Each structure stands twice: as C-alpha cells, then as structure tokens.
C-alpha cells in the first residue's frame, strides 16, 4: 500500500507461527489476515459484526476480526480456520463432523462456525441441545438452515470423545 | 466498508492515555471497539486519533469494594459475566449481560465502553441507571464521578467530554438480603438489540410482603427511563403470579418511540408484560435469599 | 459396486472448504487494483455535475470514470435479458448513471486505486451534485402515479400482461358463492453471505480477457462482456470461483461492475477487482417479493373453484433487466396443484425508485402460493369445511396427468404438468403433522390459556427449465474421469451429485471423478443455475455424455480383448468380461489404446504406438466417423419444464401477551422425483425452510418515503439465526418420476422456501382467529392486528 499513511508493525502468532505485518492503523484485522498474511480462509460477510463469518480465536476466545483493528491485536495469538486441522493434516473433530453431517453448503460462513464451535466445545465438551444452539447462536448461515450445523456440534463432541478414548493417533 | 485514515496511539499508562486525549480534540478512545469500529467502517465516525487503551491491563479489574461492584474500563463483558464475586454481590449484572449481543461480541466489548456508548437499546446503561451507580472519569485536568442520573444525555450521547477517559463504572451491590433483581428483554432475534427491556430491583418488607420496587427501561426512549414502582406493588404478595398494577403503571408512564421493528403501542405493551416478568424474577430471588 | 444414485455420498467439495482452502472471488487476485463506486444517495435525481478535483490527491488513486468516459457500447443501457411482448416499456440501467439516478445505490462513478481503502477514500472526495426529483416508493405510489420513475413510462407501467383459460368472468358470475381478498407480500432479498465480486485480467499480448465473477451464469457473463467490450467470444474466458451462495441474485448479468471492471482492466493494462460490501449488496444488487393482489374467487357448495380472477401489481424496482419472469412465475405457479375451471390472471409490473427486482429463490412462487393458499383457506372458512377437504376437491388427479392449464409458463412453453400425486402428498402431510388430531390438541392448549394453530400450504414448482445444458466427460490415460458442465455452483453440491451420476454410468470409483462447473474454458455452451434445474439439465447431459464415453470405451476394449462389447462391463474402473473380474483392462489403458500415438510419453503409452502391434492395417488408425480418446459430449434440452410439488404444515403458538410467534412443529412433504443424493436434497429443504420462515416472520426491506433503504444492514434486516428456525424440520418424501428426462428427476433447490409464508400465515390465523392477509408478520404487526380486530 503506497498511501503515505503511517505504518505500524503488528506482530502476531498465527496458528502457532510468528507473523509480522506492517499496516496502517485503520487496517481491519480481517483484511490483515486475508490480504497481508494471505490466509483467505477467514471470510468477510458484513463488516459490521453481525454475521460472524470472520470469527477467529484471539488468545483462544472467539472474536469478530472485522471489528478489530490489526494494530489493536498486536502481540496476540490468533487461530484461524487454517489452523484447526492437526499437524499431520487430520481434520479436527469439528471439521470432521461438518463433513459427516453435511454441515456446510457454500462454505462461506463455515470458517466462522468452525472456530466458534472449536472454542465452544473446549468450554462445554458435552453440550445438550440448548447449549449447542447457544454456541452457534451468533453466526449467520443462509444455505443450511442450521439443522445440520447443530448435528455437527453434537457429532464433533462425540468424535472428540472417541479420539480421546482411542489415545494419541 | 473501510475506515477512513486514522491517527493511532497505544499508550502504556493511563497518564499517557490522558495526555493523548488532551492533545487532540478529535481523539477518541478505542477499547472493545464493537460499537466504534463498525461506525468507522461505515464512515459515520472519523476520529483524528484513536487512543487504544487495550494495553492498560491495570483497568481490566472486576472487584467488589465499598459497597460497589467496580468494573474497570478494560473489563470485557465476558469477564464481568464470568466473575463470581460480581455475580454474588450484584446478580443483575449477570442477568443483563446474558442479553448483550453474542459471545464473540462479549469477548471483546467492554462494559464501561457500552455504558459510555449510551445506546438507548443497551442493557448496561439501563442497569447503571436502575442501580444509581456512578461513572469515574479522568482527564489530564483531574477526575470526577458522574452519577447515572446525570450520565445519559440522549441517544448515543453521554456526559463524557472530549479529552476524558471513563476509567471505571460502579454498580451498587444488592442492598441487603431482602432485595432481588430481575431482567427481562424481548428482541426480534436472539441477541439483537431489545425491542423492549426491563431491569428491576425489588425488596421485601419485614413481613415478607413486597416492600417496594423500581425499574429501568431500555429501548423506550432516548435514554434509560427509571420508574419507581413502589406505589403499585408495596404491600402485595411477593409470590403473586402477576403484577397488573405495576404493568399498568409502566404502560401509563412510558412514552416509547416507534421504529421499523415495533410500534409505540407494541413497545408499551411489552413494557407492561416485561415489568411483570422482571418483577417476578426479582421477588423470587429475594425470597430465596431470605429463606436461605 | 452398488449404485450411487440415491446414496447420501459425502460431498467432494467439502475437504478443501473445511480447511479454509476455498477460493472465493475476493481470495483471488492479490495483485489487482481495487474498484469502488460512488453511488447515488438519492432515490430519484438529475445529476447536475461531477467534480473529482478533491479526489485527485488521494495516494494510490489510478483512475476515476463516469458516464462521459465510457465508449459507445458501454455508454448504452445494459441488456434487457428476457424480452417479452407484454414488456412494452422495459428500461435497464446504464453501467454508470447517465444524467439521472433512479434508486439509492445506483452507480454514478467508478474509482480504481491501489486498494479498497484508498478507493473508498477517493470515492468519498468525489462531489456529485444532484437535483432531487420526487421519488416513487412502494406499490401504492407506483399505482397512483402522481410521479413517474421514468419520464417516458406512463403510469410507471413497464408491462401489463393477461393470461386466461376459460371464461372467468362468466364463471364467477354464475357461481353460487364469491369471495374477494386483498393480499400483500413485502420485499425481501437473497442476501447470500458472500456478495458480488468481479476480477478481470487483460492479456494484451494474447488479446484475451480472463474474468472471474461470483455469478450463476459464466456463459451469460461472457457473452455480455464480449458484446459490450467489442471482443470475440473466443477472446473472453469467464471462470466461476467458489461462490458463497447465490439464491438467485447472482443470475442477473451483466451487473454494471461486470462490464466496467474488465473494461478498466483492459484500459489500464492492470488486473482490476471489485468486491461488493454488505451495504452495497443491500442498495445495488436486487430484491424480490413485493406484490399486491386482489383475488375474486367463485366457488360452489363443495368449495370447488369455478372461476378464479387474480389481479396483481408487481414492484419491479427502478429497472427490469430480467424482464417479467418473476410476475410470470407468480401468475402461472399460483395455480399450484389445483384446476380451477376458469382462471384469469392480470398483472401490472410497475417501476419504483428502489433497487431492482429480480428472482430470489422461489422467484415469484412464494407470492403465488400465498395468494392461492389463503384463498383456499378463506373458502374453507366461508363454507365451514376442513381446509384439506376443500383442497382435495380442487386437486388435479394423478390420472389427469399430463395436465394442460392452457397457459404459457416462464420458459415460453405451455404450462403442462407432467406428473405428480397431490392426493398422496396430502395424505402424507396430514399424517406427518397429525392434522386430524390437532383439534383435540388445540382444545387442550386453550384450557391452559395457550393459543396454538395449524396451517398447511401446497405448491407446485416448475423445474428443469430449458433451453438446454450440456456435459462433457473424458477418461484420461490415468483412469481419472474429467467432467465439465457449463452451469455454475453456489454450494448445492453439484460436483458431488454429478460425480455420482458419472461414476455410476462409467463404473468408476467416485474418487476418480472430478467435475468442473461454470468455466467457459471447459464448457462453452450453457445457460446457468436457476429455476432448480441442475439435476435435471446438467444431470441428464452428463449422464448422456458419460453413456457415450462408456459406449466408446467398451468398443475399444472389446477390440483389444477380442470380445463383443455386450460381453463387457466396467467395475471399479476395470473393463472386464461379465462374471470374470480378474480378466480385464483398466479404463486408463483403454484411454491409451483409443488414441493411436506416434510418440509414447510414458511406459503405458507405448502400447498405443504404431509399432506396438494390433489394429487392422487395412483401415486408418482413426475411423472416418470416430475420434481419438474416450470422450462423450451431450446436450439435454427438454420439451418443457418438469413439475415438482410439495406441502408444508406448521403448528405455531402465539403468545397472548407479547404476540411472539413460536413454531412448535414444521413438516415438509416433498416430491422431486427420485433423489440422487438424499442428504443434499434434505440440506436444500432445510435452507429453503429457513428462508421461508425468514420471509414469513422476519425479513422485509424498509424504504422510507424518500426512497432511503432504512435497514440496509444485517443488524436491521432480520435474516434468521439458529434461534429463529424451527427446532426440527420433519421431512417425508414422495417420488413421482418425471417422464421428461432420462433420469426421471425433478428440481429440488427452491422448494423449501415456497410455501413458508402461506403455511405460517394459516397457522397464525388458526391460532388467533384473525385473518392474516399480509406478510411478513412480526409480533408488533400481530399485536396491531389484534388491536384492530378487538378494538
């Protein structure tokens, strides 16, 4: 960007790896992730914090990356959808569940659901129906009508349990 | 929708933050950003300088002291919601915070920030108004404490002046075991801004009947409206199934605005219904505490 | 190997998407310049000046264009895509406004800059002066025509169209009973999570334009761009990237941005990208649904409709690039599963100074269904009959298929239902929801002070609309099968569904089949994805193409194995004599053998070279009527649409105090013929039901009297979260195959949304005892209805 604006150095740990970007103050974290760090798996649906497609984990907690300035996130640990699969490439329990349960159609909202549910199941590993609804309650999807996303939440909890019981892969 | 060019500074101390705010009349505080960032993205706000206070971790406290729940400027809604000492001292905080947006917003948005934002549909301004709390405000020139009654000036307008930083909000704790709180809200979709919401503080008399109550309403006007319900409820049975007089008082006294989601008449209807629900919750809580 | 037809195969699209490796439009072209637009803040105004001087100093600015900068073809209005004789006053937008703007959001100037932030900075500094004109907002204002949207369109009437069969006026006059209803549906919109986007790259040396666009029709965009930019079709490639939902809004083409971005890319010699933001999507893409209807129904003592007269007014927004498709669909699909003895439908398609109106999932059917089903319920109420009994008496019977309504459908062909069994559907939905047991439930609830109600709605949906689609199947020497079809995907699992069909036809594992959609480089003749047509059209085409490839493969293999082709079958990619799995050659080897080589490119290829032996030396290596390779190419073009059908039933509870509406049960019975992938079909139904609930209870576009869209954000335009959809969608299926295509299938994509408003309106009316004639219905609306009714 050749804008003449002051650039700020933003240091992040993204999916376990150190990353640096030099961006103007107004650069949204969503744009920083997508365009400066070239991790395009996080998507932008509204830029006003309502749809949740841009949700990432900031120091482990789900936040809307479109509502954060990149500079404000300096020093943080970020997890995006690209960081959910295991190091050997095996899909995480949440990802695997979405695959099995037809939890995605166009896939655009999906990354926001995946990060949100990953954090959600960490806090509530065995959600009942109400808790599962609460967990995904702030993310919009236009394709699936949510039925299969709810099924994916429960299936993910099962897979996580199965994998824990099976021991290290 | 991208923000306009912005100046930016991220002070490492409160004093540095105050100096930055004093240096530029167009400076604005960036805390949670959940309200400010979308306003900037829509280019409805264009501060000259953003003073990012997210490094001021000394302001992220939630503590109970001197009869107040004291919430620092950087305490996230999620932290206040999770705080056991806050919940024990003033249950209304948790009752109301559950209705604030969605978890991802609560993880970043600050309670102090939402009070300074003074959205007429905001839950926490109504809570502060009901409890008659205070906002501590600092500037390079000194500090002051603004009571809730003088804090909310109009829609999205609070008494915080340019150059000032709200450092703490104080919510008075429950005034004794015979008191209880309730919160009821109806929104179009789960997590949306309220179509109407009510926060209630009620207390029992020595004989176990209702001693009195007051309520604060959100989404019924430019600022939270506080009503004293005592005349409509005092002496009544605390385990009543409904409180028609209180509902009637609310309907009579409030003058809600219409908008695209609800007519004034419907808001008024909800104010009555939700008064009853929140009052019931508050009295039930009070009875439990007294019985315990 | 068991057949994949009917199997809920896990989607082949998913692994990539789930890892965050999707490639949606904005993910592409990191090196591209960014476009942003200055858009009209007025609903109706003359442009009196454009002053760019303040914007020129913005760093990173590359260019600013307005109408005066456009060359001849681009300076004309955009194409009228679907002309119709009744569309006497069709108007389409200019790519950049030419002296006048007709809705808030209309593009006035394009800015190209180093990135989107800078482009928006420059756009903010462009001063456009306007002379505001009176704005025509809403159907009442359009009908009254005190002001005009377009000066040369009297009465704001783009079109007036009538269709009739029988003598409706006479039938109504002679009917024992007549009722009249006024009904209204308000605007909603597709609002996919991903907005529109275009990326264009001009290769000056090769003189080729390569474009990516988030579209439902890559061939449509290619043709339009070639025409507007004066290029040969063969100079333009249009590739559809991953698309984050369409729901109809992305079938419109070319959007202004879709011609301006490639034009700028060529002019500037740099790639240019436009990614729409959410506010732009609300004010400059398209909406749908707003109509007002007046119904007159003449019926007998049994509730049979003797004459049905429907007069309606359709709000088409400021322009009509998509012609009259939506109101034509309403006019014809309103009939649903019924056969009124006489039917007359007349509509006016009217301009308003608002965003243009083009199809949104359902494309006019939800409105028609709402009107017909409310009319049926009104007849039942008037006669004191059960609502399902009245419907039954009006059904087209299975024995009457094919049934000719005597009208012309949206594909320009006769409205003839091919198959369907409406009585069977009704029996299923009544059973599923417990229709006959509901009265007792209602009484029990009433005794507890609770209000519950049940509603039901039936629809018929014309799917698999022509004119055609095509498919190409090629077996490579590796044994992998490459499939291409020209229409596009927006999340419906097309690649999976089509791979299932090809894998079945060719006898190969589905993992070896790769399907590409929407890429003009791979398949150049196509129409697009809309009207629930992919399974019917591309499904049939790729199946026919696969059959040709199979036939060729068996012929080549038979020669190599010295047997007859009829002795052979293909299992798991191996061509072998029936009953003998061990003998045989792989399809990949067959592909090698099918292409006589001079040069071997690997060991396997050596088998096909000229000294390898075999072959009849008295004949040429490639026969006169043959081709090298194992490929098949086929097109499917049906004589007319095939008609799917279904019924929804809902049980709601309304709160006596707060007027909130809770959906207790939502039941769907659905007939789209045989299901290729049941889980994918179910997913489509879930999504459609959510949009139906949204349209019934939550979504409406709110314009103020000045034509400002007041709720142009997700905050105030209420798309459902999980908390707003039914807790469960109970689904049962019926399968009446279509005789009109080789697979016997019917379309499934839109069905879920069609009867939502009708079923929920009926249920709320049943709970409240108050007529519900207008949707959507919010709790505040219901409260006010109650006040008006009781007060």
Above 70 in pLDDT, residue C53? Answer: yes
Do the domain assignments include residue A1? no
pLDDT of residue A1: 42
Q: Specify whether A78 is located in the same domain as A139.
A: no
State which of A83, A106, A129 marks the end of a domain: A83
State which of A53, A83, A113 marks the end of a domain: A83
Interface touch A146/C725, C-beta < 8 Å? yes
Count Cβ atoms below 10 Å from residue C626 Cβ, excluding itself: 13
> Are C135 and C353 spatial neighbours (Cβ–Cβ below 8 Å)?
yes
| Cα(C666)–Cα(C689) distance, integer angstroms | 9
Crossing angle of helices A110-123 and A147-166, rounded to 10°: 50
Above 50 in pLDDT, residue C728? Answer: yes
pLDDT tens for each residue of B231-273: 999 999 999 999 999 999 999 999 999 999 999 999 999 999 9
Average pLDDT, chain A: 96
Q: Which residues of A touch C9 (CB under 8 A)?
A: none
How many pairs of residues across A and C have Cβ atoms under 8 Å apart? Answer: 185
Q: What is the CATH number of the domain that holds A59?
A: 3.10.20.30
Q: Which residue among B33, B101, B107 places its CB closest to the CB of A62?
A: B107
**Residues, chain C:** 791
Q: Which residues of C touch B103 (CB under 8 A)?
A: none
Say if the ipTM goes beyond 0.90: yes
Q: Which residues of C touch A43 (CB under 8 A)?
A: 24, 193-194, 244
| Cα(C491)–Cα(A105) distance, integer angstroms | 4
CA angle, residues B8, B46, C132, in degrees to nearest 5: 160
Distance from CA of B46 to the nearest CA of C (A): 12
Q: Which residues of B touch A66 (CB under 8 A)?
A: 37-38, 41
Q: For the residues of C458-518, what is the DSSP string, one character each?
A: EEEEEES-SS-EEEEEEE-TTS-EEEEESS--SSS-HHHHHHHHHHHHHT--GGGEEEEES
What mean pLDDT is predicted for residues C452-479?
96
Above 70 in pLDDT, residue C325? Answer: yes
Classify residue C718 as exposed, middle or buried by CB count within 10 Å of its CB (0-12, 13-18, 19+): buried
Q: Which residues of B touch A49 (CB under 8 A)?
A: 34, 37-38, 105
Q: Chains near C, with 3+ CB pairs < 8 A?
A: A, B
What mean pLDDT is predicted for residues B72-101?
98
- Cα distances (angstroms) measured from residue A30 to each of A42, A76, C252, C377: 7, 14, 29, 50
Interface touch B104/A66, C-beta < 8 Å? no
Q: Specify whether A98 is located in the same domain as A157.
A: yes
* A102 in contact with C, Cβ within 8 Å: yes
Distance from CA of B44 to the nearest CA of A (A): 12
Q: Where along chain B do its domains lie?
A: 7-52, 57-172, 180-291
**Residues, chain B:** 292
Q: Chains near B, with 3+ CB pairs < 8 A?
A: A, C
The residues pairing with C179 across neighbouring beta strands, listed in sequence order, are C297
Interface touch B260/C716, C-beta < 8 Å? yes
Do the domain assignments include residue A129? yes
> B244-252: long-range contacts (C-beta < 8 A, 24 or more apart)?
B244/B276, B246/B213, B246/B215, B246/B275, B246/B276, B246/B279, B247/B271, B247/B272, B247/B273, B247/B275, B247/B276, B248/B272, B249/B275, B250/B198, B250/B215, B250/B217, B250/B275
> Are B56 and B13 spatial neighbours (Cβ–Cβ below 8 Å)?
yes
DSSP state of C682: H
Do the domain assignments include residue A2? no
Split at pLDDT 50, 70, 90, the class of C596 is confident
- Cα distances (angstroms) measured from residue C452 to each of B187, B188, C555, C782: 21, 20, 66, 14
Q: Which of residues 90-109 of C touch A (CB under 8 A)?
A: none
Domain of A78 in residue numbering reads as 7-83
Q: Which residues of B touch C117 (CB under 8 A)?
A: 2-3
DSSP state of A35: I
Crossing angle of helices C422-433 and C387-394, rounded to 10°: 170
Q: Which residue among B3, B42, B265 places its CB closest to the CB of C784?
A: B265
Hey, what are A87's tokens? 């190091």
3-class DSSP state of A118:
helix
Distance from CA of A166 to the nearest CA of C (A): 23
Q: Which residues of A touch C243 (CB under 8 A)?
A: 106
* C679 in contact with A, Cβ within 8 Å: yes
Above 90 in pLDDT, residue A125? Answer: yes
Q: According to DSSP H, which parts of C196-318 are helical?
A: 218-229, 256-268, 278-284
Q: Which residue among A6, A25, A62 places its CB closest to the CB of B104?
A: A62
Above 50 in pLDDT, residue C85? Answer: yes
| Cα(C162)–Cα(C610) distance, integer angstroms | 68
> Are C278 and C190 spatial neighbours (Cβ–Cβ below 8 Å)?
no
Q: Which of residues 457-516 of C touch A (CB under 8 A)?
A: 490-493
**Nearest Cα to Cα of residue B93 among B173, B179, B158:** B173
pLDDT of residue C606: 82
Cα C597–chain centre separation? 46
- Cα distances (angstroms) measured from residue B76 to each of A143, C73, C307, C359, C393: 32, 56, 65, 44, 62
Strands C414-417 and C451-463: unpaired
Q: Specify whether A13 is located in the same domain as A79.
A: yes
Distance from CA of B278 to the nearest CA of C (A): 14
* C525 in contact with B, Cβ within 8 Å: no
Q: Specify whether A76 is located in the same domain as A133.
A: no
Interface touch A106/C242, C-beta < 8 Å? yes
pLDDT tens for each residue of C86-105: 999 999 999 999 999 999 99
Strands B210-218 and B194-204: antiparallel
The CATH number corresponding to B7-52 among 3.30.43.10, 3.40.50.2000, 1.20.1250.20, 1.20.1070.10 equals 3.30.43.10
Above 70 in pLDDT, residue C1? Answer: no
Q: According to DSSP H, which parts of C25-125 are helical?
A: 116-124
* B105 in contact with A, Cβ within 8 Å: yes
Strand (E) or helix (H) holding B187? strand B179-187
Q: Hey, of A25, A80, A81, A106, which one would you mutate to test binding to chain C, going by the most C CBs within 10 A of its CB?
A: A106
Residue % of chain C over a pLDDT of 70 = 100
What contacts A59, CB < 8 A, 6 or more positions away? A76, A77
Sign of CA dihedral B6, B7, B8, B13: negative
What contacts C29, CB < 8 A, 6 or more positions away? C199, C201, C212, C271, C273
Q: Specify whether A125 is located in the same domain as A154.
A: yes
> Are C508 and C1 spatial neighbours (Cβ–Cβ below 8 Å)?
no
Above 50 in pLDDT, residue C476? Answer: yes
3-class DSSP state of C258:
helix
What mean pLDDT is predicted for residues C366-378?
98
pLDDT of residue A72: 97
Q: What is the CA radius of gyration of chain A?
A: 16
Hey, what are C316's tokens? 């088409």
Q: What is the CATH number of the domain that holds A161?
A: 1.10.150.120
Residue written as token pair 């990208």? C273
Above 60 in pLDDT, residue C434? Answer: yes
What mean pLDDT is predicted for residues C43-57?
98
CATH number of B57-172: 3.30.465.10
Average pLDDT, chain C: 96
Above 50 in pLDDT, residue B162? Answer: yes
* A8 in contact with B, Cβ within 8 Å: yes
Number of domains composing chain A: 2
* C716 in contact with A, Cβ within 8 Å: no
Split at pLDDT 50, 70, 90, the class of A126 is very high
| Cα(C570)–Cα(C583) distance, integer angstroms | 11
Count Cβ atoms below 10 Å from residue B223 Cβ, excluding itself: 22
Interface touch C718/B191, C-beta < 8 Å? no
Interface touch B108/A6, C-beta < 8 Å? no
pLDDT tens for each residue of C227-277: 999 999 999 999 999 999 999 999 999 999 999 999 999 999 999 999 999
* A38 in contact with C, Cβ within 8 Å: yes
pLDDT tens for each residue of C291-307: 999 999 999 999 999 99
Interface touch B263/C783, C-beta < 8 Å? yes
Split at pLDDT 50, 70, 90, the class of C605 is confident
Hey, what are C244's tokens? 């984050």
Interface touch C683/A133, C-beta < 8 Å? no
pLDDT of residue A3: 62
Q: Which residues of C touch A138 (CB under 8 A)?
A: 721
Q: Which residue among C491, C689, C691 places its CB closest to the CB of A106?
A: C491
Classify residue C69 as exposed, middle or buried by CB count within 10 Å of its CB (0-12, 13-18, 19+): middle
Strands C774-775 and C177-185: parallel
* A151 in contact with C, Cβ within 8 Å: no
Residue % of chain C over a pLDDT of 90 = 94
> Are B165 and B53 spatial neighbours (Cβ–Cβ below 8 Å)?
yes
Split at pLDDT 50, 70, 90, the class of A77 is very high
Do the domain assignments include residue A17? yes
| Cα(B229)–Cα(B248) distance, integer angstroms | 10
> Are C216 and C534 spatial neighbours (Cβ–Cβ below 8 Å)?
no
State which of A57, A83, A109 marks the end of a domain: A83
Q: What share of chain A is helix, strand, coil (3-state, %, to 5)?
A: 40, 15, 45
Q: Specify whether A58 is located in the same domain as A124.
A: no
The CATH number corresponding to B180-291 among 3.30.390.50, 1.20.1260.10, 1.20.1300.10, 3.30.930.10 equals 3.30.390.50
Q: Which residues of A touch B4 (CB under 8 A)?
A: 26
Distance from CA of A41 to the nearest CA of B (A): 18
Q: Specify whether A69 is located in the same domain as A102.
A: no
Average pLDDT, chain B: 96
3-class DSSP state of A102:
coil
Residue % of chain B over a pLDDT of 90 = 98
pLDDT tens for each residue of C523-555: 999 999 999 999 999 999 999 999 999 999 999
* B78 in contact with A, Cβ within 8 Å: yes
Q: Specify whether A116 is located in the same domain as A54.
A: no
């Amino acid at each position: 960007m050749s804008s003449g604006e002051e650039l700020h150095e933003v240091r992040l740990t993204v999916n376990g790896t150190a990353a640096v970007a030099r961006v103007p103050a107004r650069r949204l974290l969503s744009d920083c992730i997508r365009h400066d760090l070239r991790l395009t798996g996080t998507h932008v649906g509204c830029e006003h914090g309502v749809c949740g497609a841009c949700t990432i984990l900031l120091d482990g907690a789900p936040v809307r990356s479109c509502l954060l300035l990149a500079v404000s996130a300096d020093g943080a640990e970020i997890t995006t959808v690209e960081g959910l699969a295991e190091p050997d490439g095996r899909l995480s329990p949440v990802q695997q569940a979405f695959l099995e349960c037809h939890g995605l159609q166009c896939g655009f909202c999906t990354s926001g659901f995946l990060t949100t549910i990953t954090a959600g199941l960490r806090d509530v590993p065995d959600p009942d129906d109400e808790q599962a609804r609460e967990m995904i309650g702030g993310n919009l999807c236009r394709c699936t009508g949510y039925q299969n996303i709810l099924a994916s939440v429960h299936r993910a909890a099962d897979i996580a349990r199965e994998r824990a019981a099976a021991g290290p892969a | 929708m991208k923000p306009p060019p912005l100046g930016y500074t991220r002070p490492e101390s409160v004093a540095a933050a105050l100096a930055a705010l004093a240096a530029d009349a167009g400076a604005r505080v960036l805390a949670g950003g959940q309200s400010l960032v979308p306003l900037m993205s829509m280019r409805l706000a264009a501060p000259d300088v953003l003073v990012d206070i997210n490094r001021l971790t000394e302001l992220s406290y939630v503590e109970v002291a001197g009869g107040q729940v004291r919430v620092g400027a950087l305490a996230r809604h999620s932290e206040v919601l999770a705080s056991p000492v806050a919940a024990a001292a003033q249950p209304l905080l948790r009752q109301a915070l559950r209705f604030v947006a969605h978890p991802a917003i609560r993880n970043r948005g600050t309670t102090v920030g939402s009070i300074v934002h003074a959205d007429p549909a905001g839950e926490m301004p109504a809570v502060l108004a009901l409890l008659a709390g205070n906002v501590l405000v600092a500037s390079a020139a000194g500090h002051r404490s603004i009571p809730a009654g003088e804090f909310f000036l109009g829609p999205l307008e609070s008494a915080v002046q340019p150059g000032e930083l709200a450092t703490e909000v104080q919510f008075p704790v429950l005034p004794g075991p015979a008191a209880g709180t309730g919160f009821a809200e109806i929104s179009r979709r789960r997590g949306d801004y309220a179509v109407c919401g009510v926060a209630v503080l009620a207390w029992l008399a020595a004989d176990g009947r209702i001693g009195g109550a007051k309520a604060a309403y959100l989404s019924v006007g430019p600022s939270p409206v506080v009503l004293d319900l005592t005349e409509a409820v005092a002496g009544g049975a605390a385990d009543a199934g409904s409180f028609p007089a209180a509902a009637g008082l609310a309907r009579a006294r409030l003058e809600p605005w219409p908008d695209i989601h609800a007519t004034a008449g419907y808001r008024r209807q909800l104010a009555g219904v939700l008064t009853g629900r929140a009052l019931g919750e508050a009295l039930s809580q009070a009875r439990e505490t007294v019985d315990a | 190997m068991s057949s994949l037809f009917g199997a809920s195969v896990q989607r082949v699209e998913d692994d990539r998407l789930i890892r965050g490796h999707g490639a949606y439009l904005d993910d592409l072209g990191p090196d591209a310049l960014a476009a942003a637009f200055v858009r009209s803040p007025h609903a109706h105004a003359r442009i009196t000046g454009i002053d760019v001087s303040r914007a020129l100093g913005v760093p990173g600015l590359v260019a600013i264009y307005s109408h005066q900068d456009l060359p001849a073809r681009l300076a004309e209005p955009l194409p009228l895509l679907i002309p119709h004789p009744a569309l006497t006053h069709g108007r389409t937008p200019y790519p950049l406004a030419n002296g006048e703007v007709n809705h808030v959001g209309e593009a006035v100037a394009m800015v190209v800059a180093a990135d989107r932030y800078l482009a928006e900075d420059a756009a903010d500094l462009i001063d456009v002066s306007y002379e505001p004109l009176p704005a025509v907002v809403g159907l009442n204002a359009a009908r009254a025509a005190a002001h005009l949207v377009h000066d040369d369109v009297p009465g704001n009437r783009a079109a007036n169209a009538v269709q009739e069969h029988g003598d409706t006026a006479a039938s109504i006059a002679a009917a024992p009973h007549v009722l009249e209803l006024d009904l209204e549906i308000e605007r909603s919109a597709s609002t996919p999570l991903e907005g529109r986007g275009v990326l264009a790259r001009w290769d000056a040396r090769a003189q080729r334009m390569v474009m990516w666009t988030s579209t439902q029709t890559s061939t449509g965009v290619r043709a339009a761009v070639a025409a507007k930019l004066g290029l040969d079709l063969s100079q333009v490639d249009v590739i559809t990237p991953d698309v984050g939902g369409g729901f109809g809004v992305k079938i419109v083409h070319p959007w202004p941005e879709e011609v301006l971005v490639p034009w700028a890319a060529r002019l500037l010699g740099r790639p240019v990208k436009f990614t729409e933001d959410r506010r732009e999507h609300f004010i400059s893409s398209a909406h749908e649904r707003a109509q007002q209807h007046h119904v007159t129904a003449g019926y007998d003592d049994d509730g049979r409709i003797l004459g049905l007269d429907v007069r309606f007014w359709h709000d088409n927004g400021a322009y009509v690039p998509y012609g009259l498709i939506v109101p034509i669909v309403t006019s014809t699909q309103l009939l649903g599963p019924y056969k009124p003895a006489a039917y007359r439908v007349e509509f006016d398609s009217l301009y308003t100074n608002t965003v243009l109106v083009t199809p949104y999932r359902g494309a006019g059917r939800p409105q028609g269904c709402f009107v017909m089903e409310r009319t049926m319920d009104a007849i039942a109420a008037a006669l004191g009959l059960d609502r399902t009994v009245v419907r039954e008496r009006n059904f087209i019977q299975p024995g009457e298929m094919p049934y000719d309504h005597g009208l012309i459908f949206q594909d320009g062909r006769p409205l003839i239902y091919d198959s369907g069994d409406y009585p069977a559907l009704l029996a299923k939905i009544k059973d599923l929801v417990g229709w006959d047991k509901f009265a007792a439930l209602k009484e029990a609830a009433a005794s507890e002070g609770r209000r519950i109600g049940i509603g039901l709605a039936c629809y018929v949906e014309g799917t698999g609309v022509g004119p055609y689609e095509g498919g190409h199947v090629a077996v490579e020497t590796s044994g992998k099968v490459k499939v291409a079809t020209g229409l596009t995907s927006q999340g419906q699992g097309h690649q999976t569904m089509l791979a299932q069909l090809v894998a079945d036809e060719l006898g190969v594992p589905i993992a070896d089949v790769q399907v590409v959609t929407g890429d003009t480089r791979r398949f150049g003749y196509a129409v697009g994805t809309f009207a629930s047509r992919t399974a019917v059209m591309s499904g049939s085409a790729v199946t026919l193409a696969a059959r040709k490839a199979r036939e060729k493969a068996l012929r080549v293999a038979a020669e190599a194995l010295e047997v007859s082709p009829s002795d052979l079958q293909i299992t798991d990619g191996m061509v072998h004599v029936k009953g003998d799995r061990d003998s045989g050659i792989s399809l990949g080897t067959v592909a090698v053998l099918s292409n006589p080589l001079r040069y071997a490119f690997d060991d396997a290829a050596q088998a096909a070279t000229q000294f390898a032996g075999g072959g009849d030396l008295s004949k040429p290596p490639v026969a006169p009527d043959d081709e090298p390779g194992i490929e098949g190419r086929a097109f499917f073009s049906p004589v007319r649409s095939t008609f799917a059908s279904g019924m929804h039933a809902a049980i709601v509870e309304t709160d006596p105090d707060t007027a909130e509406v809770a959906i207790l049960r939502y039941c769907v019975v659905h007939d789209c013929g045989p299901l290729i992938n049941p889980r994918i079909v179910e997913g489509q139904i879930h999504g459609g039901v959510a949009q139906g609930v949204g349209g019934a209870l939550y979504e409406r576009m709110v314009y103020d009297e000045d034509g400002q869209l007041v709720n142009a954000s997700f905050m105030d335009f209420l798309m459902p979260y999980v908390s707003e959809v039914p807790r469960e969608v109970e689904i049962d299926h019926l399968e009446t195959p279509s005789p009109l295509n080789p697979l016997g299938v019917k379309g499934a994509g839109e069905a879920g949304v069609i009867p939502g408003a009708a079923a929920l309106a009926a249920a709320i009316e049943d709970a409240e005892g108050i007529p519900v004639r207008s949707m959507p219905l919010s709790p505040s609306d219901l409260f006010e209805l109650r006040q008006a009714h009781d007060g």
